[in-house]
Structure 1
Amino acid sequence: MKQIKTDVLVIGAGSGGLSVAAGASQMGADVILLEGHKMGGDCLNYGCVPSKALIASGKAAYGQSHSDGYGVANVVPQVDYAAAKDHIRDVIAQIEPVDSQERFEGFGVNVIREFGHFISDTEVQAGDTVISARRIVIATGSSPFVPPIDGIDTVPYLTNETLWDLRDKPEHLLIIGGGPIGMEMAQAHVRLGSKVTVIEGAKALGKDDPEMAAIVLDNLRSEGVEIVEDAKASRIEGSDGEVTVHSEDGRRFTGSHLLVAVGRKANTDNLKLDVAGVETTRSGVKVDASLRTTNKRVYAIGDAAGGLQFTHVAGYHAGVIIRSMLFGLPSKAKTSHIPWATYTDPELAQVGLTEAQAKDEHGDRLEVVRFHYEHNDRAIAERKTSGLIKVMVVKGRPVGVSIAGHQAGELINLWALVLANKMKMSQVAAMVAPYPTIGEVNKRAAGAYFSPRLFDSDLVKRVVGLVQRFIP
């Protein structure tokens, strides 16, 4: 057995682990990175990247069949599903070098391609190597959660990890789960020519503002996605090419393929965390505000930490713990400024509190500012007028923003900046946005906050009247 020592041991080469390894190594720490599967983790290989590439294929097909409103004749798109999957593989291949073993070895990181598990509170075994580390980072990410539905182990099903290997277009895709992954894949597949039924046990996009979610869901239904809510799956039966999902209320749904997209679980089962004194919760590794576990030498970040499961959160967590590990400075992770987006068409984005959350927290002090896309000239020109932005404001400061509409995922960036820096609505209103852009939606929302204060104020009108009378 080979034994080595290091300053920082990172377990997992996904977004968070790679960020820690690169940052710590380039700042002078001795770093070892363990990865027993693919460099780049879930996001590159099974999640964000391939899903957005497939969404792009669906968008191209949809554009061909819905162009007559722009003066261009509609055509029936000739979809080659296997070629769309080749497109996905090419996209991954273009990004892979950024996450490659060779690149990180160039930073000075010792990359070991093995899974690891704890053998003491400071030691991890990976293959035939025992690594002793001053600081250990658990960055193992998450995997698709497959619920224990009766019969699910007897039928073929897909997850976000296996969907990308499918080369033949599903004739009728059943999706259990109406969250972001389920709805994104539903729209992409219906645009590529599949029939799609989404089976959701509660409400589709239920973690988002209901008013904003309705804008997205209405459009998906108009494109042909069947969305069945309050249909908790109780039993599954069938075989390759014909799968039937039974719901608790007696409804049945039969399709050619089944995609399970009900959520994710932290990858912690094989780490032997109890050996290191690291406690877990139902959602992942137990951490404090500084992302330290119950073993103070061990940190957990990203999906493994059991909080918000987004790639950009893992990257943010990496910055938080680097400050603590390398410089000994206090550093805590926050969630109030973390944005997220669902990449349907229209998109759905959120940062900070939703309207309901803001009402609960701030009561009568809350003001909700609204601006509709139908009043944005660029949205009119693009025929993308189905959309709304809501800004939750308390004493002149935004505490949350919800956007449903064209480029919502891009628009939310400004508000993430505003919330992160505790900026005021006056600072957003002072911004000059180029005309005509979708980005004007943000400025117009800020304008909607100030308009009644300026145009409906008797005091303002009296002041203006006096100025006009007495100042030459």
Structure 2
Amino acid sequence: MLDYDLVVIGGSPAGIYAAVKATNSNARVALVASPLLGSTWSESSSKYNKALSYMGKVARILDNAAVWGFSVPEQLNKSLEFGESLKWAKSIVSNLDENYSPAVLASLGVDVIFGEGEFCRYAPNFALAVKDQYLRSRKYLIATNSTPIVPEIEGLESAGYLTPDSIWQLANVELPKSLIVIGNDPVGVELAQTFSRLGCEVSLVVSSSRILAKEDEEAALLIQSQLEAEGIQVFTEYRVTQVRWLQGKKWIQAGNKAIDADEILIATEFQPDATNLNLDAVGVKYNSQGIIVNSKLQTTNRRIYACGDVLGGYRFPHIANYEAQIALKNLLRFPVSQVNYRYIPWAILSDPELARVGLTEAQAKRRYSQVLVTRRYFKMVDKAQIRGEITGFCKIITLSNGEILGAHIVGAEASELIHVFALAMQQKLKVQAIANLTPIFPTLSEINCLTAADCQDFSQFSKIQPNFWEGFLNLVRSWFN
């Protein structure tokens, strides 16, 4: 007899989400979490870093307080207690984690089992072994965390370094006076800006030709310009070859440049953490990018599904939760639902924020022969002027019939503003639907409607020869003569 309908492997937010969601269908569910539920998970560290990023925005507001007429004592700007800021961020994460503590999960009907699990095969069934317990289930869902990939750089281990998941280790020390961030992961960009705003001299070193290489070029270059304007040194197309500890400083050799700092932060890529599950024993294929799944998120073993970090790619919790939804529909009901990432937005919480959904301009032009690109700038929006946040733009990429291929927003609250485009694309609404909205005045949402209206006007005008409009206007003018 089977013990469960579903065993979720991994205490990640996506794993917890899947376990709770499955109980809503009256399924018998177990959640295997290792090492412990709580703020030691890497995904909770992601929450932790987001909370810390907010501190950077507060510091920026204090620096610019004079713009609004406030007289801020100089000592207020210089009296940041870095350890206290980290403790505040940790308390926020702790409060969030309490929403799904082991006790809360148990009250919802989830059997929480702590420990390392691995698959083992028994003819004709197989199970997940956790310590001395064997969990037999109808289906399994792998939702384990990912771990930072530390590049093989000569001298790095001996010099020491931090990762986005270990920033909390600085809670009992002073803010480093200088920091080198190595890598092009979005969280590295966010943390580089945060530490700079908290008073740290920051250098960002990436091997690509620009930061955020996966994002729209125009959007990424604007973020890069903002970082440089704030005093961050951005070194592109530099590969770090060695690290040395000299005279109380950590030195890196990047190309022909030698850069020194008090601390080094590695923010390159992350690798799926599923190597200890004994996947070979149950016929689950995987590679360096992650576990191999089909469009239904089913692995090469039809009883095992996977979602989240273990599949590779950006570490966005909302995308992992979306994958968990699809996987649950398939493993608890009939396997017919398929993932479609085209309409899922995401954002990089720099300042200004960068948010997108759908294709970039370059991707759209490679796929389609006639693409319309329309943009509006935040400086043209009243609320942006009032807030003093005029850096950025909204860009919509469409076909001539108004179909939205993608949208990119760089600016204040971009992560909030992008959702209207995601909804329109998901519901197959054309750009005219957004153009016809009447936004509240003054709000930042005006930029969405203004850009969409420009796109609609351009699309309609392009379908008719300019000579027609000139003749039409001459005719109307003649009526008043």
TM range (shorter): over 0.9
Partners of 1:306 and 1:110 lie apart in 2 by 27
Over 6 Å off, 4+ runs: 460-470
2:8 is paired with a residue of what secondary structure? strand
- Equivalence map 1:53-68=2 (5 Å): 53-68=51-66
In structure 2, do the counterparts of structure 1 residues 296 and 455 end up closer, same or farther at CA, with 3 Å as the change threshold?
closer
1:295-328, CA deviations, whole angstroms, 9 ceiling, x for partnerless residues? 0100010111224431011100111011111221
* 1:412 counterpart = 2:410: no
Pairing 1:258-269 to 2, within 5 Å after superposition? 258-269=264-275
Is contact 1:4-1:129 (8 Å) kept?
no
- Check the 8 A contact 1:139/1:300 in 2, yes or no: yes
**Unaligned 5+ residue runs, structure 1?**
none
Q: CA deviation at 1:177?
A: 1.1
Q: 1:42 to 1:425 in 2, by over 3 A?
A: farther
CA distance 1:261–1:56, change in 2 (3 Å): same
What secondary structure does 2:71 align onto? coil
What RMSD in Å do the two structures reach over aligned CA positions?
2.2
Q: Verify the 8 A CA contact 2:140 2:305 in the aligned structure 1.
A: yes
Find out whether 1:199 has 2:205 as its counterpart.
yes
Structure-2 residue corresponding to 1:124: 128
2:173 matches 1:166? no
Per-residue deviation at 1:465?
Answer: 8.5
Q: Deviations over 1:68-127 (max 9, x none)?
A: 222223543121101101111110121112221111111111110112111127311111
Aligned counterparts of 2:310 and 2:443: Cα–Cα separation in 1: 39
- The answer to whether residue 157 in structure 2 is matched with residue 143 in structure 1 is no
Fraction of identical pairs, as percent: 29
CA distance 1:103–1:462, shift in 2 (3 Å): farther
Q: Which amino acid in 1 is paired with 2:392?
A: G
Cα distance in 2 between the residues matched to 1:100 and 1:413: 30
The question of whether the paired residues in 1 share the 8 Å contact of 2:42 and 2:146 is answered with no
- Counterpart of 1:187 in structure 2 is 193
Query: For 1:317-336, what aligned pairs fall within 5 Å after superposition?
Result: 317-336=323-342
Alignment partner of 2:290: what SS? coil
Q: Greater CA deviation, 349-358 or 444-453?
A: 444-453
1:321 and 1:169 map into 2 onto residues whose CA distance is 43
Equivalent residue number for residue 10 of structure 2 = 12
Change (3 A) 1:337 1:246: same
Is the contact between residue 42 and residue 145 of structure 2 (CA under 8 Å) also seen in structure 1?
no
Residue correspondence of structure 1 range 73-472 to structure 2 within 5 A: 73-76=71-74, 77=77, 78-120=79-121, 122-167=126-171, 168-202=174-208, 203-238=210-245, 242-247=249-254, 249-364=255-370, 366-394=371-399, 395-452=401-458
For residues 453 and 205 of structure 1, the distance between their equivalents in structure 2, rounded to whole angstroms, comes to 31
**TM-score, normalising length from structure 2?**
0.92
Quick check: 1:371–1:388 contact (8 Å CA) kept in 2?
Answer: yes
Cα-to-partner distance string for 1:185-242 (whole Å, 9 max, x where unaligned):
1111111111111111112111111211121111111111111111111111217952
* TM-aligned CA deviation for residue 37 of structure 1: 2.1
| More deviation, 119-128/280-289 | 119-128
Cα 1:110/1:460, change in 2 over 3 Å: farther
Which sections of structure 2, spanning at least 5 residues, go unmatched? Answer: none
CA-to-aligned-CA distance 1:236-270 (integer Å, 9 cap, x gap): 121795211112x2211111011100011111111
Residues 1:44 and 1:293: Cα distance change in structure 2 (over 3 Å) = closer
TM-score, structure 1 normalization: 0.93
Instruction: Return closer, same or farther for 1:206/1:51 CA change in 2, 3 Å cut-off.
Output: same
Q: Check conservation: 1:43, 1:311, Cα contact below 8 A.
A: no
1:287 & 1:406 partners in 2: Cα distance? 37
The secondary structure found in structure 2 opposite 1:435 is: coil
Deviations 1:390-446 (A, max 9, x none): 111012111111111111111111111122222111111121110111111110110
Residues 12 and 240 (structure 1), Cα distance of their counterparts in 2 relative to 1, 3 Å cut: farther
Instruction: Determine the C-alpha separation between the residues in 2 that align with 1:195 and 1:434.
Output: 41
Structure 1 residue identity aligned to 2:118: H
Instruction: Letter of the 2:251 partner, please give it.
Output: T
Q: What amino acid is aligned across from residue 71 of structure 2 in structure 1?
A: A
CA contact (8 A) 1:388 1:404 kept: yes
Whether contact under 8 Å (1:179, 1:206) holds in the other structure is no
Question: Is 1:51 the counterpart of 2:49 in the alignment?
Answer: yes
Alignment CA distance shift 1:440-1:245 (3 Å): same
Paired residues in the alignment total 465
Distance 2:42 2:411 in 1: 24
CA contact (8 A) 2:164 2:188 kept: no
Q: Does 1:36 align with 2:34?
A: yes
